[in-house]
């Protein structure tokens, strides 16, 4: 409900011109309800990805196989507000925010992957490089899937291909 309202408003009037109050008014909820779910306006777009990434990170910390943890992100992510925002970034005026938020999320995943690789005995530099490549592959796959450069293939398939390149 909140993400739908936000996307509608971002398309209608642009990201910068849309306030949290505008979103909550459109969704018919209070401002405090918004902040029960999201810490910032842009987080509305990332909730589906964040949920999948959080679950993958938890599985990484539990010692589950890295490949399974990362491919689960693609298996669990449905077309949502993030995909709409990626596809319509210019119309929504959200390109800068998407780039910034993508970098933050990519680094978070990289940090967790590197920690896992180091725990498993990989030297620090090798762990950082490998983790950086894998984290970049995850986000690149999400972008390719959402903006249709992946020729309509399912995200899980695009993610598998991206991870193989990393």
Q: Structural domain boundaries of the chain?
A: 42-165
* pLDDT at residue 87 in the model: 93
Class of domain 42-165: mainly alpha
**Cβ atoms of 65 and 48 closer than 8 Å:** no
* pLDDT at residue 9 in the model: 95
* pLDDT at residue 147 in the model: 86
* pLDDT at residue 78 in the model: 84
**Cβ atoms of 6 and 23 closer than 8 Å:** yes
Tell me the pTM.
0.92
Return the DSSP state at 147. Answer: T
pLDDT tens digit at each of 166 positions of the chain: 889 999 999 999 999 999 999 999 999 999 999 999 999 999 999 999 999 999 999 999 999 999 999 999 998 888 889 999 999 999 999 999 999 999 999 999 999 999 999 999 999 999 999 999 999 999 999 999 998 776 778 899 999 999 999 9
């Amino acid at each position: 409900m909140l993400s739908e309202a936000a996307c509608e408003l971002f398309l209608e009037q642009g990201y910068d011109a849309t306030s949290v109050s505008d979103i909550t008014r459109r969704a018919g909820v209070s401002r405090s309800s918004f902040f029960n779910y999201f810490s910032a306006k842009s987080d509305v777009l990332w909730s589906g990805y964040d949920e999948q990434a959080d679950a993958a990170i938890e599985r990484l910390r539990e010692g589950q196989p890295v490949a399974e943890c990362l491919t689960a992100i693609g298996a669990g992510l449905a077309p949502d507000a993030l995909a709409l925002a990626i596809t319509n970034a210019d119309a929504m005026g959200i390109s800068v925010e998407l780039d910034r938020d993508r970098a933050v999320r990519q680094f978070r995943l990289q940090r967790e992957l590197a920690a896992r690789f180091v725990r498993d005995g990989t030297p620090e530099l090798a762990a950082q490089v490998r983790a950086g490549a894998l984290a970049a592959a995850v986000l690149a796959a999400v972008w390719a899937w959402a903006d249709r450069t992946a020729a309509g293939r399912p995200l899980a398939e695009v993610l598998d291909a991206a991870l193989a390149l990393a």
